[in-house]
Amino acid sequence: MNIDEHLYPWLVAAMFAALCTLLVALSARQGVSRLRRASTAIAMPLLLAALAMAVGLRVNLSDSMPIGLYRMISARGDPHRNELVIACVPDRDALLGRNRGYIGRGPCANGSAPVLKMIAGIAGDDVHESPSGVTMSGCRLRDSRPLLRDEAGRALRPWHTNLRLPRGTVWLAAVAARSWDSRYWGPIPTSRLLGVAQPLITGSRVRAPCGS
């Protein structure tokens, strides 16, 4: 099971702080006054970090989705299959995730950090979860075999169900064998979707659980 599934907005601030440190060092070589350099060193990281947060920049370090920089934007209309989203985990599962270190604390109503996943199923899709994997309306999701234990040997409870996704719910997944997703929570309400994630700079292509 992946550790620290959540996104890291503070890493964006750290990246900007490093950039500002470089700028301050360059200004020192160019003879800029010490007071101006100190002011720059304090003000610029704060301003740039605030700007980064305002435009929704997030850094993902979990290997359940491609590592890199993402931007969160507001969702428009109904959720779509294969849409990359930032979501809050259901309360009971979020508590388990925090206790085990899968996710950290964050802005979700239950005090947890959100996760980055892809919508694998929408209302009306037929879900069949078995020990061999999850089938979504006849399509077997990649790397969807539910695990019985996490990397620390602790027991996991797969959802194991057959249902048609109700209105106002989605099934979240990722193309990663150890992704912590709807295999263990089941479908979640669309009200738990915080926004859509746009990949900006990632180490690999974002793959859909089903399809090309």
Can you give the pLDDT at residue 143? 95
The whole-number pLDDT of residue 49 equals 54
Alpha-carbon distance of 24 to 36, in angstroms, equals 9
Q: Is 189 helix (H, G, I), strand (E, B) or coil?
A: strand
Phi-psi region of 154 (alpha: psi -120 to 50; beta: other; left: phi over 0): beta
Chain segment 86-97, per-residue pLDDT in tens = 999 999 999 999
Q: Give, for 99, the enclosing helix (H) or strand (E).
A: helix 91-100
User: Which is higher by pLDDT, 210 or 25?
Assistant: 210
**Confidence (pTM):** 0.78
pLDDT at 188: 97
Domain locations in the chain as residue ranges: 8-54, 61-202
The DSSP output letter for 86 is: E
**Which residues are within 8 A (CB) of 106 and not within 5 positions of it... i.e. 6 or more apart?**
6, 112, 113, 114
pLDDT confidence of residue 119: 97
State the pLDDT confidence band at 4, using cuts at 50, 70 and 90. very low
Neighbours of 135 (CB within 10 A): 17
The CA distance from 197 to 63, in Å, is 16
pLDDT tens, 95-153?
999 999 999 888 899 999 899 999 999 999 999 999 999 999 999 999 999 999 999 99
Q: How far is C-alpha 154 from the chain's CA centre?
A: 23
- Read off the pLDDT of each residue in 16-29 and give the average, rounded to a whole number: 56
Residues 23, 39: Cα–Cα separation, whole Å: 12
DSSP state of 4: -
Phi, then psi, of 33 in degrees rounded to 5: -60, 150
Give the model's confidence band at 74: pLDDT under 50 very low, under 70 low, under 90 confident, else very high.
confident
Mean pLDDT of the chain: 82
Q: Does 162 have pLDDT greater than 60?
A: yes
- The pLDDT of residue 66 is above 60: yes
**pLDDT value at residue 94:** 95
Fill in the DSSP letter of residue 131: T
| CATH architecture of structural domain 61-202 | Ribbon (2.10)
Q: What is the mean pLDDT of residues 10-37?
A: 55
In this predicted structure, which of 44-48, 164-168, 183-187 has the lowest mean pLDDT?
A: 44-48
The whole-angstrom separation of Cα 168 and Cα 179 is: 23
Residue 61 confidence class, pLDDT cut points 50, 70, 90: confident
